[in-house]
Amino acid sequence: MPLTVGLNHKKITNESGAPNNGHVRPADTTNLKNPLKTKIYKDFPTKCTDNDDLLLQIENLKTFFHTEDGLIRGCDGVSYSVKKGQTLAVVGESGSGKSVTAMSILKLIPDPPGKIAGGRILFKGNDLLSFTPDEMRKIRGNEIAMIFQEPMTSLNPVMTAGEQISESLILHRGFNKKEAMSNAVELLSLVGIPAPETRAGEYPHQLSGGMRQRVMIAIALACRPDLLIADEPTSALDVTIQAQILRLIKKLQKQFGMAVILITHDMGVVAETADMVAVMYCGRIVEYGTSHDIFFSPRHPYLKGLLRSVLNIDNEEDDLYIIEGNIPDPLNLPEGCPFEPRCPEKMDICTKQRPEPFFFGNVHYACCWLHA
Amino acid sequence: MLNYTIRRLLLLIPLLFFISVMIFGILKLTPGDPAVVLLGERATEEALELTREKYALNSPFYVQYVKMMGNFFTGELKSIYYKENVIMVVLKKMIPTLELGLTALMLAIAVSIPAGIISSVKRNSIFDYTSMTTALFGISIPVFFTGILLIYLFAVKLKVLPASGYGGSMFTIEGLRHLVMPAFVLSFTMMASTTRITRSSMLDLLQEDYIRTARAKGVKENQVILKHAFKNALMPIATNVGNQIARLFAGAVLTETVFAWPGVGRLAVNAIFRRDEPLVFGCVLILSVIYVVVNLMVDLFYGIINPRIRYE
Amino acid sequence: MNNILKIKTFYLFIISALLLAVISPKAEIDYISYGIFALLTLIILLISLAIYRHKKINATTIIKGTGELVWRRLAKNRTATASMIILILLSFLAILAPFITPHDPLETDWGALSQGISSSHWLGTDDMGRDIFARNLFGIRVAMGIGVTAVVLNTLIGTLLGLLAGYYGGKTDNVIMRLLEIWNAIPFILLAIAVMAALGTGIGKLILIVSLSNLMAFARIIRGSVMTVREFDYVAAAKVIGIKDFHIIIRHIIPNCISPILVLASLSIGETILVIAGLSFLGLGIQPPMPSLGGMLSNGQQFLHENLLMSIVPGVTILLIVLSFNLFGDGVRDALDSRLES
Amino acid sequence: MKNVFIVAGLAIFLSMGIIHHIPCAEAKEKVLRIGMAKEPAKLNPVFIPGIYGEAVAGNIFDTLVSYKENASMPTPLLASKWEISEDGKEYTFHLREDVKFHNNEKLTAKDVKFTLEAIMDTANASPSKEFFEPVERIETDGDFIIKLHLKNPYAPLMLALGSHTAGIMPADHVKQVGMDAFDSHPVGTGPFIFVEWLPDERIVLKKNPGYFLAEPAIDKVIFRPIPKPEVMAAEIESGGIDIAQNLLPQDISRLEKEGNLNVMTIAGLGNSYLGFSYKKAPFSDPRFRKAVYHAVPFDAAIKGIWKGVGERSYSWIPDGVFPFDTEYMKSRALPHDKEKAEEYFNELKKEGILQDGFEFSIYTSQNPHRVKIATVVATELRKYGLKAKVESLEWGTLFPILKNDSGCYIMGWGSVPDPDRWTYKIFHSGSTMNFSKYELPEIDEALDLGRSLVSSKQRGEQYIKVMRKALGEDYIHIPLVFKSVTVVTGKNIEGFTPSPQDYFHLVTEKRNVTVN
């Protein structure tokens, strides 16, 4: 776990969260009734209310991989939504399915072996899953953009930075080469790259890691997308550059009123940027809520474990807390709660049945029998 | 880029010196007497002596070498058999060689690169399996066996194509009819290995991250494959084509023998058998120069397509 | 005792032992081949015992040695195993040739010229009444024997040059690579012909010249991997504690370059056999009366009308040998090159 | 980026097309295309070393006398008549006066004198110099009479003057242009005029309308060298050529059966033989040579290899050519007898002349038939513990090996129907072509007599003596086969018949080959 940057000095706004009508809960409720605390919505509202500021809504998304050794459930019934200009952080260890979900949104899952088996992805009210490849292409890079983790390999080594940026402009905005190039130079200066004219003519191998990530961002923002999916944008960079990139994303988000889905395994990054947070484990969301809920009233043992294992300067404990064991084999997930084998507070029910979400307030929920 | 080329061309001179010394050494080892070739069965002893004098065949080793190199560059090195300046003889044979070689090269590239790309994109499809098995056969079957089979099929049985020989420039129907089979046979091996290389390098590249970035940008699929993946695949393909050209020379000799094609390869082979030392010397030297120059062109082609390699 | 039967090579041993017994009465036909085959059977036995002992010792540990991992991946690849079986079959045929065919490959029978397939001559006879099947078997023996020896020599020389160039770098590297460049610049087949014409033909010279054919390919790849390995810390560490270069190369450098060497060697066997066949097609290499596949093919070209078998049989045999070596080579490359999964 | 690569490729293509001349369109003219087994090395008669040069030169040059129609009787050509003195030392020729060279110079006696002296001049190193050895002096008497004075009578002189290597050259033109340049652009008086020579591709001749015998019926003749016999067969079948020579026996029998081409065969003068060294052990021991004779089934093997194209030969002198002695020589041939061979070999091994596992090579040229017979000999001898290897070499390598006593070799000669031509140089100890180093005084003496005597009956006795001693007793050679000459022509060729020396006679006093 990278050392976080001063967890507590960022003021967490105690947003009570916007009215969450129309908020959608996972559908496959189990039969066991939940007597005590929270209401369970049995089924989905048939017609999703077209709340104007609700940009993206994922409902019970299932993406499976048919490999030789068997079926891997990369993303097993995930639901979350993002409003305009809002930042949703998706957190979890590697292999928890956070990237798979993101890639499914843009339907970039390699067809053999992966397949989107179920659920819906509503973007501005229409379901992307029903889109034809051509329609999808109009969305990609134009309305939803994505940046990746490895700046070293994410840029085409034989094309100059300027060319790679102007490519999507030419594609979506119909610019001619010259217009696109001048626009690209503008974008490069927008993302804070010094001497953009020369940089535009240079090849990726001539740029530093941080600069390449900025070029990636310039490419993504070329067509002013409404949603930016950032798949661990800073993990491969060293800490100082990391902060600059996050601040850049924040600034551009404000400037263009863009929603951001930030995928990371670094709680420090989440603390700094996220409005809403979804914690994923083995292809499912185990806890979802505002960043304030997550950091100040974590409910799920896994989240608690994550928070405790984050190094904290003013935390006196000398030895580092680690979550025992490792992620179960995706080929044969345990019957009950996937976290059960590593859960310090596990009960016997956890081994038999999969927990379903229990709500604390109307936004914050956690899937754990502790709160049944 | 320019001074790199000049430096590489300058390197050619020591290279040529070494090659010529090596060839000359081998030739001198050869038993047999070129003078005899000239005079034939009824040559008398002093007649042979006279001819040896004329071609300085029995003066010391290095004198002959210097004389030969001198004559070669001033163009007076005459082939004993063809009684003509060596460079001219080779140039006359150059046209059929180029026609055969370039057609085979173009045919191979035109077929193998698309085949490689399609079979890498449609992996494990029927197209992929058929092209890969044919490619495997292509690199396993001896050039001359395919030649003999084709001659039997098209010339002997169906009598559609001429069995062998050179029918004049390829821009005449007769010339083309003669060129079809040898060009196909020669290009078949090269086609096979280039397809395999294209497919495997494309497979590697399609896993790369920037392909995913391109798709995320909404680039059309065939653009992703051609513009992004294939442009990067050009380098391993160029390497393969580079050393295929070396095999083109060797393969050409065999193909030329099967189809009695009057190319430079066969000229060199006959020259060696005929003990025509000046011609052997000229042929091998010119072929080596061509080979080195072609390799230089492939390296320069690298420079163009691969920005990472900046020739200082 | 029972799990020894699980090892495949043990079955191979049983088969070859059986063959050995079956042909022992006819042993006096050709003592040398019989002797070689007996030796081969012994080697197979030793290998299977070694595997058996190896399996017994680390039956418990789950961690598999890289060798075993590679072997397992190779065994999983169906085409590679098929090619291995064909190769084993061909080499058995080659070694036991004198015992399989009733005919001597050189024996001319003027009564039976260019006959088709018959009970006495399984693949017919050629233009001098010699049994094509017998000549083909001896042709395989020559082709594979020379092919493999030439490749082994080629690998050794190429690797040595690559090691020296890669490890010492600087001047030696420059000198070796420049010389190789010159050697590579001369079109190989002309060089082979010139040398053959100069020194005269014969198997020894054929092996010599073919084993010097693509040194450049070997040297360049080995040099590359040696250079990368040389940069690793543990090599620097070894140097620091004063281990002599020679040991470093043997213990550290070579084991890490084994896979590129193996891949290139197995891939180049096919090509070498084609080159040998090409040379004998041009009339160099193996001289009559010794049978050679290339020679049979070039002779067959004169009898396309009369007796197609004379061309088809040697051609298909060369194709089969080279195809199996190439398949085997691909299998080895895929097994060793873990990144490129099937 | 990719299109730059394609454009460059196309540019090379097109440029090649332009610089390569587009061949002149063949108007509806009569063209005869002849396939030749080997390309002539030289066309200048003084330099011609082999039969292929002679075959082409025969149509460009004329000789004093002609053997074209009758291989053993000279008929008038450039010389309308000639007289030979009683002592056989003086020959006078009367030239025709209406003959012009292709460059319109008139043919006169000085051209004949110049040509013959050029052949005899050591500076030109002419291969046929030895056939004019006995000529002492040549004098011309006016423009159209030429006299040859000989040191001693020499019967085969007429043959030498009739051979195409004595084609008459235009003296002034040659002096002006030089011998070598003349070789690449010959000018003669013959029925066809030289046009061009593309090495390894073709030699083109066009008709000489003013030819004194008759205007040739064909407009153009193209000689195409096709070294591989199976390719020659495919070319004649597919109509690529009109006349084909030296085909493989199996192709000849097939074409004969198919019947859509004319297949003509006549007895040949070319003899192949297996020679042994007379000096080098163990070949020098007659028992070794007899053992080899017994060991190999020559009759069956020759029939199997040459099939219908040649019959077994028992002496150097072909059947039907004087002196007729074939019956006796046939009786001296040794039958295939394994025991006898074993017996001889064991004797030699006992006496230590021959070691067991003795390794040696049988040297031969690259003629496929000779390689096969050598393989048969090598295979058979392996049964007696001798390790023989066949070395088939290009002529340039083979000749020096044969010259310094190769031990065991296969060679062959074909030439004019006079016994002297290929007995003197094979058996005479002085001759460079005596590869067996056969040296017997009485043989040399008989051969010299054969040359100097005039009456063919007396000459015949000498040659019979030589043959019986060398082949019948010493078995220095094992004669193998007289290869018959087979020529295949298209049905549209009229008036062409093959010549025993593989020449192509197109226009003579009796014939004028046409293509319809």
Cα D393 to Cα D375: distance, rounded to the nearest angstrom = 14
Closest by CA to A263, choosing from A75, A114, A132, A5, is A75
pLDDT average, residue stretch B75-96: 81
- Give the percent of chain D with pLDDT over 70: 94
Domain match, D212 and D252 both: yes
**How is chain C split into domains, by residue range?**
3-337
Helices (H), chain B: 2-29, 34-39, 45-54, 61-74, 86-121, 126-140, 143-150, 173-206, 209-216, 221-223, 231-259, 264-274, 277-305
φ, ψ for residue A183, nearest 5 deg:
-60, -40
Interchain contact, C288 vs D374, CB within 8 Å: yes
Asked if D260 and D290 sit in the same domain, the reply is no
Residue D3: inside a domain: no
Query: Are C107 and D379 a contacting pair at CB < 8 A?
Result: yes
User: Which residues 26-45 on chain B approach chain C with CB closer than 8 angstroms?
Assistant: 26-27, 29-31
In a domain, D184, yes or no: no
Distance from CA of A99 to the nearest CA of B (A): 13
Q: What is the CATH number of the domain that holds D287?
A: 3.10.105.10
Lowest mean pLDDT among B28-32, B136-140, D315-319, D349-353: B28-32
Contact (CB<8Å) D228/B92: no
Strands (E), D67-108: 75-76, 79-84, 90-95
Hey, are the CB atoms on B83 and D129 less than 8 Å from each other?
no
Q: Which amino acid belongs to residue B306? A: N
D235 touches chain B (CB under 8 A): yes
Quote the CA–CA distance of A124 and A103 in Å, as a whole number. Answer: 18
Distances in Å between the Cα of C39 and the Cα atoms of C17, C88, C110 are 11, 15, 38
Amino acid at A124: K
Kindly indicate the confidence band of residue D445, based on its pLDDT and cuts at 50, 70 and 90: confident
CA angle in degrees (0–180, nearest 5) for A234-A236-A241: 55
Q: How far apart are CA C312 and CA B146, in angstroms?
A: 10
Residue A216: pLDDT over 70? yes
Q: Is residue D420 part of a domain?
A: yes
Taking an 8 Å cut-off on Cβ atoms, the answer to whether B228 and A156 are in contact is yes
d(CA C34, CA C97): 10
Which CATH architecture group holds B99-263+294-305? Orthogonal Bundle (1.10)
Q: What is the pLDDT of residues A326-338, one digit of tens each?
A: 777 777 777 788 8
ipTM for the assembly: 0.75
Q: Which of B47-56, D388-397, D458-467 has the lowest mean pLDDT?
A: B47-56
B vs C: CB pairs below 8 A:
138
A-chain residues near B304 (CB < 8 A): none
Taking CB atoms and an 8 Å cut-off, how many pairs form between chains C and D? 63
Output the CA torsion sign for D306, D308, D310, D311: positive
pLDDT recorded at residue C4 = 62
pLDDT at D24 over 70: no
Q: Is the pLDDT of residue D108 over 70?
A: yes
List A63's β-bridge partners, or say none: A75, A116
Hey, which CATH number is domain A2-143+225-311+331-371, 3.30.1300.30, 3.40.30.10, 3.40.50.300, 1.20.140.10? 3.40.50.300
Contact call for D250 and C200, based on CB within 8 A: no
**Half-sphere CA count of C243, side-chain side, radius 13 A:** 13
Top pLDDT among B309 and A260 is at: A260
pLDDT at A33 over 70: no
Contacts of A108 in chain B (CB under 8 A): 212, 215-216
* Relative orientation angle of helices A161-168 and A209-221, to the nearest 10 degrees: 20
Class of C3-337 in CATH: mainly alpha
Helix axes B173-206, B231-259, angle to 10 degrees: 150
Residues 62-81 of C with CB under 8 A from D: none
Q: What span, in angstroms and rounded, lies between the C-alpha atoms of B283 and C191?
A: 11
A36 band by pLDDT with thresholds 50, 70 and 90: very low
Name the residue among D127, D231, D395 with its Cβ closest to that of B37: D395
Q: Rounded to whole angstroms, how far apart are CA atoms A91 and A89? A: 6
Helix intervals (H) in C282-308: 293-300
Question: Taking 50 as the threshold, does the pLDDT of residue A109 lie above it?
Answer: yes
Instruction: Provide the residue ranges of all domains of chain A, joining segments of one domain with +.
Output: 2-143+225-311+331-371
Indicate yes or no: CB of C270 within 8 angstroms of CB of B139: yes
Q: Are D513 and D498 in contact (CB under 8 A)?
A: no
What is the distance in angstroms between the Cα of B250 and the nearest Cα belonging to chain C? 5
Residue D92: C-alpha distances to residues B35, D82, D98, D115, D147 (Å): 37, 5, 19, 16, 4
Q: Look at residues C338, B31, B256 and name the one whose alpha carbon lies nearest to residue D397.
A: B31
Q: pLDDT of D399-432, one tens digit each? A: 778 877 888 999 887 666 777 777 887 888 877 7
Residue D123 in contact with partner chain B when CB distance is under 8 A: yes
The pLDDT assigned to D187 comes to 92
Chain B partners of A171 at a C-beta cutoff of 8 Å?
217-219
Q: CA-nearest residue of chain C to D382?
A: C106
Residues of chain C predicted below pLDDT 70 = 1-6, 59-65, 338-342
pLDDT of residue B289: 82
Stretch B99-111: mean pLDDT: 91
Task: Extract the tokens encoding A308.
Answer: 């405790």
pLDDT band, very low/low/confident/very high, at A31 (cuts 50, 70, 90): very low
Q: Nearest to residue B121, comparing CAs of B67, B198, B13?
A: B198
D489 and D451 co-located in one domain = no
At D162, which helix (H) or strand (E)? helix D157-162
- Domain chopping of chain B, boundaries: 99-263+294-305
- Say what the pLDDT of residue D19 is: 43
Closest CA to A26 of A102, A98, A81, A74: A81
Range D291-312 average pLDDT? 86
Q: Which chains does chain B touch, 3 or more C-beta pairs < 8 A?
A: A, C, D
Going from the C-alpha of B49 to that of each of B24, B41, B56, B58, D41, the distances in angstroms are 22, 15, 10, 9, 19
**pLDDT in the model for residue A18:** 42
Residues of C in contact with B268 (CB under 8 A): 190, 193
Contact: C194, B27; criterion CB under 8 Å: yes
Q: Smallest Cβ distance to B307: which of A153, A158, A216?
A: A158
Domain of residue D450: give its range: 268-483
Looking at residue B108, its pLDDT comes to 92
pLDDT tens by residue, B219-255 = 888 888 888 889 888 888 888 888 777 777 767 888 8
Tell me which residue has tokens 């060729």. Answer: D493
Instruction: For residue D328, give Cα distances in angstroms to D125, D293, D324.
Output: 40, 17, 9
Pick the residue of C180, C186, C284 with the most B CBs within 10 A to test the interface with B by mutation.
C186
Q: Are D249 and D273 part of one and the same domain?
A: no
Would D321 be classed as within a structural domain? yes
- Between residues D199 and C5, which one has the greater pLDDT? D199
CB B219 within 8 A of CB A171: yes
**Tens-digit pLDDT profile for residues A220-261:** 888 888 899 998 888 888 888 888 888 888 888 888 888 999
Question: Quick one: average pLDDT of D88-92?
Answer: 88
Report the alpha-carbon angle A29-A30-A35, nearest 5. 95
What pTM, to 2 d.p., does this model score?
0.79
Go through C321-336 and write b for each residue having 16 or more CB atoms within 10 A of its CB, e for each that does not: bbbbbbbbbbbbbbbb
Q: What is the pLDDT of residue D455?
A: 76
Q: Cβ–Cβ of A158/B231 closer than 8 Å?
A: yes
To probe the interface with B, which of C188, C209, C274, C313 has the most B CB atoms within 10 Å? Answer: C274
Q: Is D7 on the interface with B (CB under 8 A)?
A: no
Closest CB from B208, B214, B217 relative to A153: B208
Indicate the pairing of strand A227-231 with strand A259-264.
parallel
Asked if C326 and B249 come within 8 Å (Cβ–Cβ), the reply is no
CA pair distance C280, C142, nearest whole angstrom:
11
**For residue D220, is pLDDT > 90?**
yes
Question: Contacts of residue C301 in chain B, CB cutoff 8 Å?
Answer: 148, 151, 258
CATH of the domain at D170: 3.90.76.10
Count of domains forming chain D = 3
Average confidence (pLDDT) over A66-84: 84
Is D56 at the interface with chain C, CB within 8 A?
no
Residue-wise DSSP of C112-156? S-S--S-SSSTT-B-TTS-BHHHHHHHHHHHHHHHHHHHHHHHHH
Give me chain A's average pLDDT, please: 78
Indicate whether D101 and D229 sit together in one domain. Answer: no
